[in-house]
Amino acid sequence: MTELGPPKGRNGGSPLGVRMDDVAQLAQVSRATVSRVLMGHSSVSPKTQEKVNRALRELGYVPNMIASGLAAKGSDLVGLLLRDPRNPAYGLLHSEIQNEASRAGLQLITVVPTATQGADDELTGLRRLLGLRVGGLMVSTGVIKAHDLEPFLDSVPVVSVGRMEEHPGIYGVSYDEDTNGAILADRVAAAGHRSVAVVVPAFSLSTAENRRGLSMAAHLRGRGIEVHQLDTDLFGSSVDGCEDIVRLAGEGRITAAMFPSDTRAISFMPFAKAAGLRIPEDLSITGCDGILMGADQIGIATLRIPVHDVAVRGTAVMAELIKNRSSATIEHERFAGVFVPGRSLAAPRAINETRVL
């Protein structure tokens, strides 16, 4: 049996030992030209680019990103700290940021902390990115806190993307969770519901879902609606609070339940079915984010967050900060979403029966 070892370079060594000078020699160009091709500069002719790329492929050259960043006293390598991409909102945000980073000539490297762990694991991921000497840091997670980022603000520009940010030293490009919660609450109130359960995850679980939930509850109360606020602090669970909602609905104390994410709303459906609760006849439900594929077929009433707009703007800000950080003014930009009607939200049964009569 033949043993397979690590891939070999052109001269029999590891590709990690291949130098940029080796690539330049094989392609018969200067070392500076190889560097420009690696950086994606358009000043290199297509013919020369092809020669260099052919040499790169043949030698299996791997650039030393840390050394490159230090040599240039700066770097277009951007680190992205991302929450669990199994969550559709984070998964789509990742894809959109990657696309925008490529368009902006930035090289994106992403670290995803363990999904079942909290802020400590995210801090480990953050340090891992900074250890690579990234030229900028994008933070897209609802767990790590602003004060955790403070020690690094003098070393690298930081942009908070897709999460509410209020720290004066961190540029924020986020979803307007206060407005989003208000939009959903107004829709539930307009449907005629007067007693509503609202799931509110703890701030330590998700800054975004916490803000959405609190906004929903506050706006409902502002319209004179009774709110049964269900606080949850169970990390990594989308079903915490579901049994309480079933109980409240069974006792006739609520006619609607509002969830801070579509995942939570959909996770509730098996609980409703097992309890014999019909949606929306017995209980209306709403979600939030509008990202989950197939959610329109399920008919969830939700709010679609503007992931593309936030990714485009967040990446543009990051590119600008890398180029000209000293003159940048820290701002907190927020983008509101759009309500998506669904079959899961209807008038309470008593109102429907009155209308029929």
Q: How confident is the model over 246-298, as pLDDT tens digits?
A: 999 999 999 999 999 999 999 999 999 999 999 999 999 999 999 887 777 88
Domain containing residue 34: 15-62
Is pLDDT larger for residue 196 or for residue 238? Answer: 196
- Residue 272 is predicted with a pLDDT of 97
Are 49 and 84 found together in one domain? no
Residue 4 placed within a domain: no
Interacting residues of 209 by C-beta distance below 8 A, sequence separation 6+: 142, 200, 201, 260, 261, 264
Label residue 7 by pLDDT band (50, 70, 90).
very low
Q: Which residues of 110-146 are buried (b: 16+ CB within 10 A; e: fewer)?
A: bbbbeeeeeeeebbebbeebbeebbbbbbbbbbbbeb
- Residue 1 is predicted with a pLDDT of 38
Label residue 149 by pLDDT band (50, 70, 90).
confident
Q: Please determine, for residue 184, whether its predicted confidence score (pLDDT) is greater than 90.
A: yes
Are 290 and 188 found together in one domain? yes
Q: Specify the pairing of strand 226-232 against strand 284-286.
A: unpaired
Residue 262 placed within a domain: yes
Are 45 and 172 found together in one domain? no
Are 168 and 266 found together in one domain? no
Determine the Cα–Cα distance for residues 44 and 270; give it in Å rounded to an integer: 58
- Residue 194 is predicted with a pLDDT of 97
Q: Specify the pairing of strand 338-340 against strand 158-161.
A: unpaired
Are 224 and 252 found together in one domain? yes
356 DSSP β-pair partners: none
Determine the Cα–Cα distance for residues 245 and 225; give it in Å rounded to an integer: 17
Interacting residues of 242 by C-beta distance below 8 A, sequence separation 6+: 267, 268, 271
Is pLDDT larger for residue 112 or for residue 315? Answer: 315
**pLDDT (tens digit, 9 = 90+) per residue, 69-111?**
544 445 688 999 888 778 888 899 999 999 999 999 898 999 8
Determine the Cα–Cα distance for residues 288 and 182; give it in Å rounded to an integer: 12
- Residue 262 is predicted with a pLDDT of 94
**pLDDT (tens digit, 9 = 90+) per residue, 331-341?**
999 999 999 99
Q: How many domains does the chain contain in total?
A: 3
The gap from C-alpha 243 to its chain's centroid, in whole angstroms, comes to 28
SS3 190: helix
What CATH number corresponds to the domain at position 35? 1.10.260.40
- The 3-class SS string of 240-300 reads CCHHHHHHHHHCCCCCEEECCCHHHHHHHHHHHHHCCCCCCCCCEEECCECCCCCHHHHCC
Beta carbons within 10 angstroms of residue 173's beta carbon? 27
Residue 5 placed within a domain: no
DSSP state of 357: -
- Residue 64 is predicted with a pLDDT of 61
**Residues 185-197, mean pLDDT to the nearest whole number:** 98
**pLDDT (tens digit, 9 = 90+) per residue, 310-329?**
999 999 999 999 988 777 78
Are 77 and 167 found together in one domain? yes
Residue 2 placed within a domain: no
**Residues 304-312, mean pLDDT to the nearest whole number:** 97
- Residue 60 is predicted with a pLDDT of 77
The C-alpha angle 109, 85, 258, rounded to 5 degrees, equals 140
Q: Please determine, for residue 119, whether its predicted confidence score (pLDDT) is greater than 80.
A: no
Are 220 and 344 found together in one domain? yes
Q: Structure tokens of 165? A: 């940010």
- Residue 15 is predicted with a pLDDT of 46
- Residue 116 is predicted with a pLDDT of 56
Residue type, 129: L
**158-161 sheet: strands from edge to edge:** 107-111, 77-82, 136-140, 158-161, 171-175, 332-335
**Residues 138-147, mean pLDDT to the nearest whole number:** 83
Are 128 and 226 found together in one domain? no
**Residues 116-120, mean pLDDT to the nearest whole number:** 59
What CATH number corresponds to the domain at position 233? 3.40.50.2300
